[in-house]
Amino acid sequence: MSGPPSGTSGARPPAAPPLDDRDGVIWLDGRLVPWREARLHVLSHGLHYGGSVFEGERVYAGQVFKLHEHSLRLVASAREMGFALPWDADELDAATRQVVAHAGLTEGYVRPVAWRGSETLRLVAPGTAVHVAIAAWPWPRVFTAGPGGIRLATSRWRRPAPDTAPVRAKTAALYALGSLAGQEAEAAGRDDALLLDHRGRLAEATGANLFLVIDGALHTPPPECVLDGITRRKVLALARGLGLETVERHMEPAELARAQEVFLTGTAYEVQPVTAVDALEYPVGAVTTALVRAYARAVREGTGPAPVGGAAPAAAGGSG
């Protein structure tokens, strides 16, 4: 998954200016426009019916990690939601690079988003224009809870069955569940929420994939009703490269008690250690630490030296 999570309890980052009142430019429908002028009409179809799709991408040393995979997924998400983007993945790649370069970003976040326009508010609107915007800004961390990791609360909200929702799409319609779950987790004093699937099995966090370390092996739910995150796939490959056994399988919540380590993965989260789920507590163990370091190296391959020291990043931070 790759939307940013809601939880940042503990130490909060310094207040940032609101996202609609900043200097710079945003790529909107094929051209760069001043940041404050990148608007949509209040009667846009995507705003009313949850039909927008989006991506979350990270910039490391001036380069967007896994850019083409993100662009391909944006195109595929739109198709899953019943509309076609006016630009293909290669054109979206070029536009993203243009935005990042114009912003002078070396470390930051990129948000491409696409939505149906305001020609009609009829629920079925195949002829509605499709708009695309790409914005980029400095945003180095999601959580600031420190290297000890974050604490989760199991949510009452569940991920829907794959035959009841477009689970393969990164769409605003599904992220409403994560928003609700995250709000409740924050109110309970936790950093993020853990969601179960429609059958009550372990699923994911509000915007990140879930991993359990059990007897040295890596276990993660299959991407049936959760997004098959780009970071998820990369971490599985890194784990295999480190000689770790990886297992994709359905897991009941009771298996949290069997885990020696727990962590989350996502574009915004990166590899995020988890130190508690409800009443259960976990150390930031050797497997998690090794994958934090391996991922930190991987995102900077070809961009320059990796960060010195190799320690777990402070609050490495949506499923992506």
- Catalytic residue numbers read 170
CB atoms within 10 A of CB 146: 13
Residue 216 in contact with residue 244, Cβ under 8 Å?
yes
The tokens 């609050």 sit on which residue? Answer: 315
Tokens of 294: 């391996």
CA 286 – CA 310 distance, rounded (Å): 12
Alpha helices in 104-196 (DSSP H): 172-187
Q: Which pairs count as long-range contacts for 32-37, CB under 8 Å and 24+ apart, including other chains? A: 32/98, 32/99, 32/102, 35/135
The tokens 């991922």 sit on which residue? Answer: 295
Give the list of residues 6+ apart from residue 90 with CB closer than 8 angstroms, or none: 68, 71
Backbone angles phi, psi at 72, to 5 degrees: -60, -40
Amino acid (one-letter) located at 308: V
- 272 beta partners: 264
The tokens 């777990």 sit on which residue? Answer: 312
CA 298 – CA 122 distance, rounded (Å): 46
Torsion region of 310: left, alpha or beta (phi above 0 gives left; psi -120 to 50 gives alpha): left
